[in-house]
Amino acid sequence: MTSIVGVLNKRAVAIAADSAVTVGDTHKVMNTGNKIFSLSKYAPVGIAIYGSASMMDTPWEVIIKCYRRELKTKKFQYLREYVDDFMHYLRRHEFFASVEVQRKNLTVQILLFLNACEENAKKRANYTVNPTQAVVDELNACKAANIANTNIFSEFQNYGFSEFLFYARNEIQIVLGQSKIPNITQYYNEFAESYYNYLRVANIDRNGDSGLVFVGYGEEEIYPCLYNIVTNLYFDHRLQFRKGEQVEIKNELPSASIVPFAQVEATQTVIRGINPSFYNIISNNLNTALTAFRTASSNFAKQNNAQALATQIDNIDVSALTQTFTKSAQNEFFEKYTRPLVNTISLLSISDMANVAESLVALTSLVNRMTPKEESVGGPVDVAVISKGDGFIWIKRKHYFDPVLNTQFFNNYNND
C-alpha cells in the first residue's frame, strides 16, 4: 500500500510519499520504493504513483523515465495535456505489454474474479448443500448489478460480449478448467457473461489498480493543478482506466486543497475532524435506535387503542431522518474543521506546505505502526515542491547511491 498527499495553494503544490512497497502477493514490505518523479526536465510537472508499481509487468518508474526522455523540451499549455500525451505515449507502445503478457494478466484477473465470487457464495444459505449452484447464483447477482451500473470504462462502451468472447475464450476455459468448484465448466456462459459485465464497470476497485497523480502547471496556468488517473488491465487494444480526483487552484474557490491517495484515513481524519468511516457507524446506530423507538411507540399506541396514531408512527421514514442527521453532521464538521484548515493552507508558504504534506504521510505511517495490520506505509518520506517560477524542487529524496560518488549521473542527467 502507499500514502501520498498533495497540498496545493496559489504559491505551489507540495507532494509527499512514503517508501513502503509490498512484494508480490507476500506480506514482505521493503522501504525503498520511489513514488514521486519529475515528468519533465524543463517544465514544472511531476507525477506520483500508488497501488501497483507496474503496468502490465513493466515498472512505472521505467515507463515514466522513458517518457521523460522522449518528451525532452516539449511543453504544453495545460497540465491536462500532459496527462493526455502520457496516455497516448502508453498506447503507442501498447502499454509496454506483449500479447502474451496481456493474456497472462487477463487470465489472472479472471481467476481473481472467480475466487471473489466463490468467497461471496460461501455466505449464501445454499452453499453447504450445493456450492456450485451458490456460485452460479452469485455470478448471476453480480451480472445483474453490473448491468444496472451505468459507469462504464470509455473504451469498453462499444465492446460487445461476442467480441470479448472471441478474444478471451481460451483464458476463461483455462480458469474454469483449473477450478475446484464441481462442474463449474458447465456454466461457461453464465461465468463469461458475468465477468464481461464486471470488467466494463469503472467504479470498482480492482486488484492490480495503478494510480497516477499528475501535478504541476501548464504554460498558461499560473496556479497549480492535480489530476488523478487509475489504470488496470490492458488487452485487445483496450485499457481499463478512469479519471479520479481533479483539483484546479483558482482565484475563486478552491484556493487551496489537501488531497490524499491510497491510505487516506489518517489524512481525512485531520481534514474532516472525524474518521470518514465513523459516519457509517453513527448512521447505522442512529438508524437502529430510531427504528427501535418507532416500533416501541407504535406498540404503545396500539396497546392504548390508538390505531390511527400507530399507523402514522409506522409510516415515519427512519432512513430519511438518519440521512438528514448525517448530512447535517457532515456540514457541521466541514464548517468547524475543514473550512478553517483549507483557509490556513491557502496562506502557507512553500516550505510550510512541504512540512504539512510530509507530516500527513508520517502520521499515516504512525497509525499503521500502532495498529495490528501490516505496516504497508513506512520508510523515508520523499517530498517535492513544484512552483511556477522555480519548477520541480526536491525537498527530501532518498538515493540508492551516494550522490557525492556519482557526479557523472547528474552531469548526464543535465546534458541528456
Mean pLDDT of 354-381: 88
Confidence of residue 213 (pLDDT cuts 50, 70, 90): very high
Mean pLDDT of 242-252: 92
Q: How far is residue 90's CA from residue 245's CA, in Å, rounded to a whole number?
A: 21
Q: Determine the residue type at 112.
A: L
* HSE-CB for 161 with a 13 A CA cutoff: 12
Confidence of residue 114 (pLDDT cuts 50, 70, 90): very high
User: Is residue 253 predicted with pLDDT exceeding 80?
Assistant: no
For 342, list phi and psi in degrees, rounded to 5: -65, -40
Give this prediction's pTM: 0.90
CB 200 within 8 A of CB 146: yes
For position 273, what pLDDT does the model report? 86
User: Is residue 24 predicted with pLDDT exceeding 80?
Assistant: no
Which comes out higher in pLDDT, residue 406 or 118? 118
Packing angle, helices 99-121 and 131-148, rounded to 10:
110
| For the chain, domain boundaries | 3-97+208-269+353-415, 100-200, 270-345
CB 259 within 8 A of CB 6: yes
User: Is residue 371 predicted with pLDDT exceeding 70?
Assistant: yes
Distance (Å) of CA 198 to CA 33, 135, 222:
32, 15, 41
Q: How far is residue 108's CA from residue 151's CA, in Å, rounded to a whole number?
A: 23
Buried-exposed string 102-133: b where 16+ CB fall within 10 A, e elsewhere: bbbbbbebbbebbeebbebbeebeebeeebbb
For position 293, what pLDDT does the model report? 93
Cell of 320: 430519511
For position 274, what pLDDT does the model report? 86
For 256-276, how does the pLDDT look when each residue is reduced to its tens digit (9 = 90+)? 999 999 999 999 999 988 888
Average pLDDT, the chain: 92
For 146-198, how does the pLDDT look when each residue is reduced to its tens digit (9 = 90+)? 999 999 999 999 999 999 999 999 999 999 999 999 999 999 999 999 999 99
SS3 124: coil
Q: 271 Cβ partners below 8 Å, 6+ apart?
A: 258, 260, 337, 338, 341
Mean pLDDT of 11-35: 85
User: Is residue 27 predicted with pLDDT exceeding 70?
Assistant: no
Distance (Å) of CA 219 to CA 55, 116, 224:
29, 46, 11
Mean pLDDT of 100-124: 95
Confidence of residue 25 (pLDDT cuts 50, 70, 90): low
Q: How far is residue 18's CA from residue 127's CA, in Å, rounded to a whole number?
A: 43
SS3 179: coil
For position 26, what pLDDT does the model report? 62
Packing angle, helices 188-200 and 161-178, rounded to 10:
120
Q: Which CATH superfamily is domain 3-97+208-269+353-415 in?
A: Aminohydrolase, N-terminal nucleophile (Ntn) domain (3.60.20.10)
Mean pLDDT of 224-244: 95
Confidence of residue 239 (pLDDT cuts 50, 70, 90): very high
